[in-house]
A and B are shown apart, each in its own frame.
Chain A
Amino acid sequence: DGGITQSPKYLFRKEGQNVTLSCEQNLNHDAMYWYRQDPGQGLRLIYYSQIVNDFQKGDIAEGYSVSREKKESFPLTVTSAQKNPTAFYLCASTTSSPGNTIYFGEGSWLTVV
């Protein structure tokens, strides 16, 4: 089935540790996005990428890093510099055509222990 796969579903991070969230899509979409969702807040953009080997910071990029080495993959690393990383993380993708729908993965929960 075509879709966006995020893994792991649940992840625990110790203080000072970097962790990486995986996002893979087989929809042949050019653009990929990472959002953070906190209770009572809308989705906030962390990073996005329109093409391979290129990405832009979103509104809350500090403490996060990404790479886009393949069209299908857009992993997100939550670094130790992110002081409040406990949240629900959503990966999304869409085609490069303006106005096309953005689709989401099932999300990953990250908890600091």
Chain B
Amino acid sequence: AQSVTQPDIHITVSEGASLELRCNYSYGATPYLFWYVQSPGQGLQLLLKYFSGDTLVQGIKGFEAEFKRSQSSFNLRKPSVHWSDAAEYFCAVEGASSGNTGKLIFGQGTTLQVKP
């Protein structure tokens, strides 16, 4: 069965420091991978997605992610974190099912805290 693991439940970084959030997936075929961000009391906003092609994907708000098939990983990075980046981050894979359902399987999330 498909699954997504985010090993870090909670991460604290200083403002201006670099950030890397880890995501590992389990999926037999070529995965479709996503990173979403959720601020308190709000829905999920898409940061970036990988379907095919270039394995380094650029997203909104200065985020990028790199797909590494050999490591089954899709880690999210940002060179310099801003206080407004404090939120919960979810990695997701599009699950396989009978037909093209598009349903997403999410990791349990990583909460990012930014220190001034």
Q: A and B bound?
A: no
Question: A residues bordering B, Cβ < 8 Å?
Answer: none
- Chain B residues with CB under 8 Å of chain A are none
